[in-house]
Amino acid sequence: MSARISIAGVCAVAAMVSIAAQPQRERTWVAPPSADSRQNPLNEQPEIVAGGSKLFRQRCALCHGQDGTGTNRGPNLMTRQIQDQSDGALFWKISSGNTRTGMPSYSFLPEAQRWQLVFHLRAQASE
């Protein structure tokens, strides 16, 4: 029995050393350059803000807060770091998600609804 325990202990230590030796993952989440050039096709339709607001409350507020200023589950979307990103980059992030941070992919939503979310983020930040 003690041989089994010591083998398990050696394996556990080896696993910890292996994990510690791995390089740290990049903590930034950057959209590909191709996403930056995409323009929100709904920018000329301010009446769509209400739809984006409803979607945000349904899909995003649990993690990002009702006003988008973040919670312990998701970051503040009103920061300069987020708001300085292009509409295309935000659309890409909403569509792609990020498993490392817990951000789900919303690619199942129709493209127009994802653009509504981007529009909502911009409108919310300007208030």
Any idea what the CATH number is for the domain that residue 49 is in?
A: 1.10.760.10
| Residue 118 falls inside a structural domain | yes
| Residue 3 falls inside a structural domain | no
| Residue 115 falls inside a structural domain | yes
- pLDDT, averaged per 10 consecutive residues of the chain (127 residues), comes to 51 42 54 90 81 94 96 95 96 95 95 95 88
Q: Quick one: which of 63, 62, 42, 44 has its CA closest to 52?
A: 42
Cα dihedral sign, 95-92-111-43 = positive
Q: What is the pLDDT of residue 2?
A: 52
Residue pair 40/115 in contact (Cβ under 8 Å)? The answer is yes
Residue pair 91/118 in contact (Cβ under 8 Å)? The answer is yes
| Residue 23 falls inside a structural domain | no
Q: What is the pLDDT of residue 41?
A: 87
| Residue 15 falls inside a structural domain | no
Q: What is the pLDDT of residue 3?
A: 52
Q: What is the pLDDT of residue 76?
A: 96
Q: What is the pLDDT of residue 17?
A: 39
| Residue 67 falls inside a structural domain | yes
Domain extent at residue 97 = 33-125
| Residue 42 falls inside a structural domain | yes
Count of the separate structural domains present in the chain: 1
| Residue 19 falls inside a structural domain | no
Q: What is the pLDDT of residue 12?
A: 45
Q: What is the pLDDT of residue 91?
A: 97
Mutual angle of helices 49-59 and 111-125, in 10-degree steps? 100
